[in-house]
Homo-oligomer: A and B are copies of this chain.
Amino acid sequence: MDLAQQVLAGDRRALARLITHLENDTPIGRAALAALWPHTGRAHVAGVTGPSGVGKSTLVNEIAKHLRSSPLSPLPTGEARGAGVRGEGQTVAIVAVDPTSPFSGGAILGDRIRMRDLSGDPGVFIRSMATRGRLGGLARATGEAVRALDAAGFDLILVETVGAGQSEVEIARTAHSVIVVEAPGLGDDIQAGKAGLLEIADILVVNKADQPGADEAVRALRGMLELGRSKRDSDWDVPVCRASALSGQGIAEIVQAVEAHRAHLAAAGQLAARERERVVEEIRALLSEALMGRLMTRLANGQFDAAVERVLDRTSDPRREVERLAQET
């Protein structure tokens, strides 16, 4: 069996190997993903984002645990899923998008240790995606990993971004449902408002709701949401959930909100629209990488460096050099 066949058969190690191939953008990874492509498009993908320190990892952990222990959980997948991913409840994959931290690995390791109680369960798959090389690469690799998990038959894929910057927002917004997590008392303001996160939220969660300031945070978020309408979808009322991931409170409500949002998307014909948006983003990201790669191989030795030199000694400017280099395609 080749790698794609192994993944379809439910081989977890093969799946992990494939994702590493996708991270490194190898020919083996590309071939396997092409073979798996017809098997994609069934999973529900939920992005989980928000400022640092709000407890996203713990929350994602609790959502996964909840789904595994609720056999009647009604997320409709439309058809029977592949072998190997069945279990009591829905099967869940977690993709944690972590910037590389060569200093420690500590904090990230910490998150994964919190996940330990899930790791013996074959219906759960946990994977961290690291920044390898340049920005666009992480979004591309994350998107491809989600497709691989989708083909492997997971019902729900949770994409958790560790930071809350523009690229993390871009990664989260390619999900079907976007969960934005906030916590009380992170500085003076509602940080999610600052970070431009509210506009992409389908579901808002105030985590650490047992801490002081939770009521104010909920009120402030409701106020920011004005009439509770989503900016992306005016027919959807964005719910503001209160949760405490550490005590497990409010997790069932979040899961229900995701299910309600998926049902809404399907009923409103929005699922297809979001899926199209995801594909457009995937093609754009790949195309951008491909065009730069092609140009770099076509440039004569030292041509790029010579352009840099001319800009540095101020005999030319970046735009003029870019015009010249782009002619080479």
Contacts and interface: CB of A to CB of B under 8 A. Distances in A.
Interface of A: 30, 33-34, 37-38, 40-41, 51-55, 98-104, 106-108, 110, 131, 135, 138, 161-170, 186-191, 193-196, 198-199, 224-226, 231, 275-276, 279-280, 282-284, 286-288, 290-292, 294-295, 304, 307-308, 311-312, 314, 316-323, 325-326, 329
A320 B30 CA distance: 10
A162 B288 CA distance: 26
24 contacts: A33-B317, A33-B319, A34-B320, A37-B311, A101-B195, A101-B196, A101-B198, A101-B199, A102-B231, A103-B224, A104-B198, A106-B189, A110-B189, A163-B196, A165-B165, A165-B166, A166-B167, A279-B312, A283-B318, A286-B318, A287-B295, A287-B325, A290-B322, A290-B326
B231 A166 contact: no
A291 B280 CA distance: 17
Given A317-B34, A329-B291, A199 B103 contact: yes
Contacts of A135: 135, 166-167, 170
A100 B197 CA distance: 9
Contacts of A166: 99, 131, 135, 138, 163, 165, 167-168
Contacts of A279: 308, 311-312, 318
A124 to B, nearest CB: 23
A329 B326 CA distance: 10
B99 A196 contact: yes
The DSSP consensus for interface residues of chain A is helix
Among A170, A226, A307, A322: residue with most chain B CB under 10 A: A322
B41 A314 contact: yes
Given A107-B194, A199-B102, A282 B52 contact: no
A119 to B, nearest CB: 21
A328 to B, nearest CB: 10
A52 B191 contact: yes
Given A54-B187, A166-B168, A288-B291, 15 more contacts: A33-B317, A101-B193, A101-B194, A101-B195, A101-B198, A107-B190, A108-B194, A131-B196, A161-B165, A163-B165, A164-B164, A165-B168, A165-B169, A283-B325, A287-B292
Nearest to A284: B292
A51 B54 CA distance: 12
Nearest to A322: B286
A228 to B, nearest CB: 12
Given A131-B166, A138-B166, A165-B169, A191 B53 contact: yes
A103 B162 contact: no
Contacts of A190: 107
